[in-house]
Amino acid sequence: MIEKFNSQMKLGEIVNQLPDASNVFKNYQIDFCCGGNRTLKEAAEEQGINLEQVIQQLNEAYQKPLKLENKQVDWQTIGYSFLIDHILQTHHSYLKKELPEISALVTKILRVHGTGHKELAQLHRQFHLLQMDLMQHLIKEEEELFPLIKKYEKEASKELLEMIQNNIEELEKEHLEAGTILKTMRVITENYLIPDDACKTFRLTYQSLEYLETDLFDHIHLENNILFPRLLSE
């Protein structure tokens, strides 16, 4: 077996080289987006998991053919506008559609099951904090950062690049805050453990929240570990 990955490689670097590594990390609840600058060893120690086992799974995944879409697109070299449009069409569109729907679900299960499940009040609070932060974050990216990057791609200048780089620090901080809320929601729900008395709406809510987390991890990874580092190294 090819020894492609090792304990000293950074999480973001691993996912950049092997997009399917994101699935391995998600199984171990390893944050590869906001925590993409950590080494694999540091992440494994933090989660208390078997480092060698994770490395083996990553190297095994590397042997398998990559998905067709990952073969077609090299995010490290693709044009900024293409990458931004992908983020907008795939992840921003998803959030704008799903956040209001999940909000309604979280509110409904609090109203129906809140008496017997005190954790739902905490979940309701944390989700709506996340929703508010994300919507403000999307506006900053769509109205400020992304137009600057597209303009820079057409008319590169030191002044534009400095404006972009100054914006990136604030957005990375907001990504970290979103990641912290996601972790808190996992703790509150005991990793989205569905209780025995859960109705269909309860199950749908937890499933929707888990998918939201997965989409946000992929979304933030594209920005924190690919788009932003490329611009900061210009």
Q: What is residue 2's predicted lDDT score, i.e. its pLDDT?
A: 55
Say which residue, 205 or 36, is predicted with more confidence: 205
Q: Are residues 175 and 208 in the same domain?
A: yes
Instruction: Quote the CA–CA distance of 28 and 58 in Å, as a whole number.
Output: 12
Residue range 185-213, pLDDT digits in tens: 999 999 999 999 999 999 999 999 999 99
Q: Are residues 111 and 51 in the same domain?
A: no
Q: How many CB atoms lie within 10 A of CB 83?
A: 21
Q: What is residue 80's predicted lDDT score, i.e. its pLDDT?
A: 94
User: By C-alpha distance, which of 73, 30, 40, 83 is closest to 229?
Assistant: 83
* Residue 173 in domain: yes
Total structural domains in the chain?
2
* Residue 200 in domain: yes
User: By C-alpha distance, which of 182, 177, 149 is closest to 163?
Assistant: 149
Q: Are residues 55 and 104 in the same domain?
A: no
* Residue 3 in domain: no
Q: Which residues pair with 131 in a beta bridge?
A: none
* Residue 195 in domain: yes
Q: Are residues 44 and 98 in the same domain?
A: no
Q: Which residues 6+ apart lie within 8 Å of 92 measured at CB?
A: 138, 141, 142
Q: Are residues 67 and 89 in the same domain?
A: no
Residue range 66-86, pLDDT digits in tens: 443 444 567 778 899 999 999
Q: Are residues 212 and 168 in the same domain?
A: yes
* Residue 225 in domain: yes
Q: Please state the φ and ψ torsions of residue 132, each to the nearest 5 degrees.
A: -60, -45
pLDDT of residue 177 exceeding 80, the answer is yes
pLDDT of residue 179 exceeding 90, the answer is yes
* Residue 46 in domain: yes
Q: What is residue 73's predicted lDDT score, i.e. its pLDDT?
A: 64
pLDDT of residue 176 exceeding 50, the answer is yes
Q: Are residues 58 and 147 in the same domain?
A: no
Exposure of 58 in the CB half-sphere (CA atoms within 13 A): 27
Q: What is residue 97's predicted lDDT score, i.e. its pLDDT?
A: 94
- Global pTM reads 0.78
* Residue 6 in domain: no
Instruction: Quote the CA–CA distance of 24 and 12 in Å, as a whole number.
Output: 13
Instruction: Quote the CA–CA distance of 70 and 7 in Å, as a whole number.
Output: 24
Domain with 54 in it: 11-72
Last residue of a domain, one of 42, 72, 102: 72
In the chain, the percentage of residues whose pLDDT exceeds 70 is: 94
Q: Are residues 65 and 98 in the same domain?
A: no
Contact 17, 161 (CB under 8 A): no
Q: Are residues 52 and 94 in the same domain?
A: no
Last residue of a domain, one of 23, 46, 72: 72
Contact 167, 148 (CB under 8 A): yes
Last residue of a domain, one of 72, 92, 115: 72
How far is C-alpha 17 from the chain's CA centre?
A: 17
Q: Are residues 47 and 104 in the same domain?
A: no
* Residue 5 in domain: no
Q: Are residues 20 and 87 in the same domain?
A: no
Instruction: Quote the CA–CA distance of 216 and 193 in Å, as a whole number.
Output: 20
Q: Are residues 42 and 133 in the same domain?
A: no
